Amino acid sequence: MPRFDYRVRNPDGSLATGAVEAPTAELAMDTLRDRGLSVISLEEAARPGLLELEIPFLSGIPIKDIVVFSRQFSVLMGSKVPIVKALQTVSRQTNNPRLQRMLVDIADEVESGTSLSVAMSKYPKAFSGFFVNMVRSGETTGRLEDVMNYLADQMERDFDLNSKIKGAMIYPIFVIVGLVVVGFIMMAFVVPKLTDVLTESGAELPITTKILIAVSTFFKAYAIQIIIAAVLAVIALQWWIRTPGGRPIWDKLILKIPVFGPLLQRIYVIRFTRSMSTMVSGGIDIPSSLEISADVVGNAFYRGQILETKREVSDGHSITTVFEREGSMPTMVSQMMSVGEETGRLSEVLDKLTDFYSREVENMVANLVSAIEPLIMLVMGVAVGAMVAAIIMPMYNLASQF
């Protein structure tokens, strides 16, 4: 969308400059006038060069940069620096050019009379609905400094948890992918040359060798077709997952994967309880908190469950009605939330659940890392043993006949 640089006079007579996005200059002019500004000049900003264009899937802002921004902004707010000045100061300190441009635009919007939460809501790839609503609650209660500091703490915890999980998964994924690639190359190109020697010898071959020859012949004959079919299958699966009907089914299926399913379930529980606790303690009503938490969880199946819970709560039912009926959440979550709802201490209960499941996830990740290495060694040992039994031993027997 085109950007227009403007120079305006505020209602109090002071001059201000900034930029506004609009499809046309006329609409940009109307937007500024709706804010009560007298437009002095309005010019379309120069379009970005090729290197400055934002690619959609690269246009998000890393969570680490948002954490740093939140922390710096909180410190400046605590020092009684005005919001616009604080935003401008942080924008000059950030090393991310996309975030820098966003903060400059947000500062201009705030200076023009827009609230900080509304200005941030225009950049959903950087500031989630959870983030924006917490900022709004901070503006309403006059505790914006505390809210920004709290958001930084919560985001750091999420970042640390995600980093641990990704770190635990890198090694097994790398090894598995390597095994698949090497196995495909062996079966399609290397094994056929070895088995040709055994076949031409006319010797009686063991069953393992016959199976290996059959599989190798298949891979050699249909290697290209197999690759194309695999690529098409991946593309079809991704397309199906992105459909409104496919995503909830897929997200429900991954919860049933052995070992990884329970781990993912606890991660989603942590996201839900942490975001709910933050918003309830920030004064946001439960239905609104549930609606925002549904988007924070990151699982379409749980999102549907939480939105259904919101409807139940709006109709006067308990917050745990859906969870107890569907059994989608661990029993402990439903029971403790029910107690918190009855005693009026829901925020405290959610905090305790977050701490409990955070420790459980850390233990599960540590145990998973410890168990994966010997499991991979066992798989590799079986694969090597099968190869030896199917090729090396017959070739040794053949050589010993001469």
Angle at 127 between CA 126 and CA 128, to 5 degrees: 115
What is the rounded CA–CA span in Å between residue 12 and residue 15? 9
Angle at 126 between CA 123 and CA 132, to 5 degrees: 70
Which CA distances in Å does 341 have to 157, 327, 334, 337?
A: 26, 19, 10, 6
What is the rounded CA–CA span in Å between residue 397 and residue 376? 30
pLDDT at 239: 92
- Residues 96 and 174 sit within 8 Å (Cβ to Cβ): no
Structural domains in the chain?
Answer: 3-47 (3.10.20), 60-154 (1.20.81.30), 157-402 (1.20.81.30)
The CA-based dihedral angle spanning residues 284, 286, 290, 292, taken in that order and rounded to the nearest 10 degrees: -10
Q: What is the pLDDT along the chain (402 residues), one digit of tens a residue?
A: 566 777 777 777 777 777 766 656 766 777 777 677 788 777 776 544 333 334 333 346 788 888 888 888 888 888 888 888 988 888 888 888 888 888 888 888 888 888 888 888 888 878 877 788 778 777 776 778 877 887 787 777 777 777 777 777 777 778 778 877 877 777 777 777 776 766 676 666 777 777 777 877 787 788 789 889 989 999 999 899 888 888 889 988 988 888 788 888 888 888 888 878 877 877 778 888 888 788 778 788 888 888 898 888 888 888 888 888 877 788 888 889 888 888 888 888 988 998 898 888 888 877 877 777 787 788 778 877 777 777 777 776 666 665
Which CA distances in Å does 202 have to 90, 198, 199, 256, 267?
A: 78, 7, 6, 49, 58
Which CA distances in Å does 390 have to 208, 215, 306, 381, 382?
A: 5, 12, 54, 14, 12
pLDDT at 54: 40
pLDDT at 235: 94
Phi and psi at residue 9, in whole multiples of 5°?
-115, 125
Residue type for position 226: I
Distance of CA 97 to the CA centre of its chain: 22
Q: Is 13 exposed, middle or buried (0-12, 13-18, 19+ CB in 10 A)?
A: exposed
- Residues 91 and 130 sit within 8 Å (Cβ to Cβ): no
pLDDT at 110: 87
Could you tell me where the beta strands, DSSP code E, fall in 13-65? Answer: 15-21, 38-44
pTM over 0.75: no
pLDDT at 49: 39
Which CA distances in Å does 61 have to 150, 289, 324?
A: 19, 24, 37
What is the rounded CA–CA span in Å between residue 186 and residue 215? 11
pLDDT at 55: 36
Tokens standing for 275?
């975001």
Angle at 144 between CA 142 and CA 147, to 5 degrees: 125
